[in-house]
Amino acid sequence: MKSKIGRKIKIVIAVLIAWFLLHTAYIIYDGMNDYKGNADVAIILGNAVYSDSSLSPWLQGRVDAAIELYREGKVKKIFASGGDGKEYGVHEGDAMKKYLIEKNIPAVDIIADSKGNNSYLTAKDFMTLNDSLHFSSAIVVSSFYHITRCKYIIRKLGFKNVHGYASKKYFRNDIYGTFREFFAFYKYLLFY
């Protein structure tokens, strides 16, 4: 009897590990498979900003990827969305806009959002903005492991033509981010 229960537990554990590995492999593949076409807007997902308004290296990588899209003519507008900056007192959207302007992106083509404290709130804010601007296509710009969940939540809120483009800067903490993303994706699937 105990051996049957032990075998069933091993099978369940093996299935869960296989599920985790397959899902994680898909997240990596999807995140690294940059969209090659054009879209109306790039949606940058925020990350840490310092008290002097400078961007953390991982956020700078995301913003630089959006600049690349803009300069290549692949997007017309940039929606820079991040949190309210409670940690350092600087709104992420405003800091990204400042950086974009310093990199010669016209202010008229930048929309800053500092209420996107998580991916869901960024998606929600984008959908509210889209009610007036009527974008028909978008490219989510974030770290590679974050792309799948961001596209998922934007699509779930009703915007179907969304693609991904990942930062070209990689960091040691991407390993943790990739691991965490499995659980974050299913949280979004169940609760949002």
Tens of pLDDT, residue by residue over 115-164, are 999 999 999 999 999 999 999 999 999 999 999 999 999 999 999 999 99
- The string of DSSP codes covering the chain is -HHHHHHHHHHHHHHHHHHHHHHHHHHHHHHHS---S--SEEEEE---B-TTSPBPHHHHHHHHHHHHHHHTTS-SEEEEE----TTTT--HHHHHHHHHHHTT--GGGEEEES---SHHHHHHHHHHHHHHH----EEEEE-GGGHHHHHHHHHHTT---EEEEE-S---TTHHHHHHHHHHHHHHHHHH-
User: What is the homologous superfamily of the domain 2-191 according to CATH?
Assistant: HUPs (3.40.50.620)
The predicted pLDDT at position 2 comes to 66
Q: What is the pLDDT of residue 46?
A: 95
pLDDT (0 to 100) of residue 85? 79
Amino acid at position 29, single letter:
Y
Do the Cβ atoms of 148 and 185 come closer than 8 Å?
yes
The structure tokens listed for 49 are 């900003």
- Prediction pTM value: 0.94
Residues of the chain with pLDDT under 70: 1-2
The structure tokens 């974030």 sit at 142
pLDDT, residue 1, reads 60
Both structure tokens of 92:
């992420």
Tell me what pLDDT residue 87 has. Answer: 75
Per-residue confidence (pLDDT) for residue 185, from 0 to 100? 97
Residue bearing tokens 């956020």:
59
The DSSP secondary-structure symbol of 49 reads B
Per-residue pLDDT, 161? 98
pLDDT of residue 3: 79
